[in-house]
Structure 1
Amino acid sequence: MSTPSVREILSNGLWHNNTGLVALLGLCPLLATSSSAINGFGLGMATVLVLLLTNTTISAIRQYVQSEVRIPVYIVVIASAVTAVELLIHALLPELHKVLGIFIPLIVTNCCVLGRAEAFASKQRPAIAALDGLATGLGFTLVLTTLGGLRELIGHGTLFANANIMFGEAGRALTLHVLEDYRGFLLAILPPGAFIGLGLLIAGKNLLDARARQRGAAVPVVQATHCAPSALPTP
């Protein structure tokens, strides 16, 4: 497998092959924990740490793992990384651990983690595998935080409420009351609101991609139009 460029890895992880918007992996935690921006950001950062640990470890041991047992080995590595991250969050951010609950250990079942281990980390050197894990995790975090912020804004009229569960007392100053005296919109914070919000995000990405393709296709046409007169014979 050829080594992709740093730009290609970042663009694929953050946008072109985004886990939540293109591959549509990890939808269970994505939809369940994105009731607020902070909840989504917290789970996203936990996923980033897991992807970094698993991709780097699997890349480092890839030459010593027989192909017949690679999947069980990958699952053991992923489970170990998730356990370490969960214990770290429990020790340093107990309030966040309470909010996210079972969805932290369920990162083990997130298909994007095993998918990147099998499709990428097992074929690349550790530094490149770590970068891929970082890009994939940040792309997932971006979707989680954006969807959570959208649902929180429409549902409660705030952004980054309860940031203190991640950033301590200083995080209380991060809360933005965008809509004052807002009575809320219950649908946005219920499970159907998560599906609707994710659908809007996917539609928005597809629209941006379509416009980018149209602009890219229009450039050669414009250049050809400008060059056409020079091809005419000079009188």
Structure 2
Amino acid sequence: ERFGENAGKKANFKIQLAEISIVKRPELDLEFFKKYGVEDEKELKEKVGESITSRKKAELQSEYRIAVRAQLSALYDEFDLPQELMDFEQEQVQKELDKMSGEKEITEEEKEKKKQEGFDNAKMDLRMKFILDSISEHEELKFDENEAAREFVGLAQITGQSPDELIQSPFGRDMYQRIIIRKQGDATLDRVVARVFGDAIEENVPETHEHVHDENCDHNH
């Protein structure tokens, strides 16, 4: 299709070479080490090794979470969800559809399909939240809000806003709550994984908390 009537025919091409580049290995000198915050080649290798190990550990941890989440969803899918929450989720899905319809034309068939998919996903997420909340309560997990605050601060910097400004907007408050819910869920899934593998359970109770100020604060800023 790309070549039309010339498809399958032999052709001669003329190519003009504009540039040849080669990769030049940098000198492992003091300037190079300083750039990466290390003293020498040995420390650089250690730092790279730690980074690779940390990344692989995070990938494996993510795989465990996904597997455990799927198992929990399959094991505990018989309980009824509160109708009030179900109605709220349906309203949210409908709002998203209305917004989408305003941006581009969608057929009624597509709209119904997306509506059902959206509601099914919302129901699954809601069910999983109930399961994870129950496990968290049973395990008496202490959630470190510092992690959520640090991620929120990073996202605020990306958008070019201060965290305190961003949290005042509906978008910012929703983002912060989503981060907290996800972090709490991850912590609970990690605890389940630890129980499965018989790993030692470490209690992490932070003495001080980073905090993102919103309109619900009841203390002086």
**Smaller-chain TM-score bracket:** under 0.3
In proportion to residue count, which structure has more helix?
A: 1
Q: TM-score, normalised by structure 1?
A: 0.25
